[in-house]
Chains A and B, each alone.
Chain A
Amino acid sequence: MSPMISRARVGRALGLVVLIAAAIIALGPLVWTLSTSLRTPAEAFVNPPAWIPVNPDWGNYSAVFEQIPLLSFFINSVIVTGLIVAGQTATCMMSGYAFAMIRFPGRGKIFVLFLATMMVPLQATMIPVFVLIKWMGLANSLSSLIVPALGGAFGTFLMRQYFLQMPKELGEAARIDGASPLQVFWFVYARMAVPPAAALATLNFSGFWSEFYRPLIFLSDQSTYTLPLGLVGLQGNLGTGSVSVVLAGVVVALVPSVLLFAFAQRYFIEGLTTGSFR
Chain B
Amino acid sequence: MRGEALFGYAMILPSLLIVMLFTAGPILASIGLSFYSWDVISPPRFTGLDNYEQLAADQTVLHSFAVTLGLAVSIVVLEILIGLGLALLVQQRRNTFVRATFRTVFYLPLLASASSVAIVMGYMFDQKFGVINYYLGLLGIPNVPWLTSDFGATATIVIIAVWQQVGFAFVLFVAALSTMPQDVLEAATIDGAGPGHTFLFVKLPMISPTILFVAVVGIISAMQLFDQPYVMTKGGPGYSTTTTVLLIYQTAFQNLQFGYGSTISVLLLLVLIVLTAMQFFGARKLVFYQ
Residues of chain B within 8 A of A231, CB atoms compared: 115-116, 119
Mark contacts of A223-250 with chain B using CB atoms, 8 A cut-off: 1 yes-contact digit, 0 otherwise: 0000111011001000010010011001
Do B86 and A29 have beta carbons less than 8 Å apart? no
Residue on B nearest A117 in the bound complex, by CB: B23
Residue on A nearest B121 in the bound complex, by CB: A29
* A19-39 interface with B by 8 A CB criterion: 19, 22-23, 25-27, 29-30, 32-33, 36
Is B285 located at the chain interface by the 8 A CB criterion? no
Residue on B nearest A114 in the bound complex, by CB: B19
Contact of B105 among A23, A49, A211 (CB under 8 A): A23
Q: B84 to nearest A CB, angstroms?
A: 13
Contact of A254 among B26, B102, B112, B213 (CB under 8 A): B112
Do A92 and B15 have beta carbons less than 8 Å apart? yes
Is B220 located at the chain interface by the 8 A CB criterion? yes
What count of chain A residues pass the 8 Å CB interface test? 92
Residue of A26, A153, A181 with most partner-chain B CB within 10 A: A26
**A33 in contact with B86 given A49-B131, A104-B8, A124-B268 (CB within 8 Å):** no
Is A103 located at the chain interface by the 8 A CB criterion? yes
Query: What separation, in Å, do the CA atoms of A99 and B252 have in the docked complex?
Result: 37
The stretch that binds B, out of A10-18, A52-60, A63-71, A192-200, is A10-18
B: interface residue count bin = 35 or more
Contact of A209 among B7, B113, B167 (CB under 8 A): B113
Q: A202 to nearest B CB, angstroms?
A: 11
Q: B10 to nearest A CB, angstroms?
A: 8
Do A102 and B11 have beta carbons less than 8 Å apart? yes
Is A273 located at the chain interface by the 8 A CB criterion? yes
Residue on B nearest A8 in the bound complex, by CB: B195
**A206 in contact with B252 given A131-B258, A150-B18, A250-B116 (CB within 8 Å):** no
Is B239 located at the chain interface by the 8 A CB criterion? no
Is A105 located at the chain interface by the 8 A CB criterion? yes
Is B78 located at the chain interface by the 8 A CB criterion? no
Residues of chain A within 8 A of B113, CB atoms compared: 209-212, 227-228, 253
Is A166 located at the chain interface by the 8 A CB criterion? no
Residue on B nearest A30 in the bound complex, by CB: B108
Residue on A nearest B118 in the bound complex, by CB: A232
Residue on A nearest B175 in the bound complex, by CB: A273
Contact of A210 among B17, B107, B115, B248 (CB under 8 A): B115
Do B116 and A102 have beta carbons less than 8 Å apart? no
Query: What separation, in Å, do the CA atoms of A9 and B29 have in the docked complex?
Result: 62
Q: B71 to nearest A CB, angstroms?
A: 15
Do A47 and B115 have beta carbons less than 8 Å apart? no
Residues of chain B within 8 A of A107, CB atoms compared: 8
Query: What separation, in Å, do the CA atoms of A209 and B107 have in the docked complex?
Result: 17
**A123 in contact with B245 given A23-B105, A94-B15, A102-B7 (CB within 8 Å):** yes
Residues of chain A within 8 A of B66, CB atoms compared: none
Contact of B172 among A91, A152, A273 (CB under 8 A): A273
Which 10 residue pairs are nearest across A and B when measured between Cβ atoms?
A210-B113, A151-B18, A104-B8, A128-B29, A98-B11, A151-B15, A125-B26, A95-B15, A102-B8, A47-B134
Query: What separation, in Å, do the CA atoms of A126 and B89 have in the docked complex?
Result: 42
Query: What separation, in Å, do the CA atoms of A265 and B23 have in the docked complex?
Result: 31
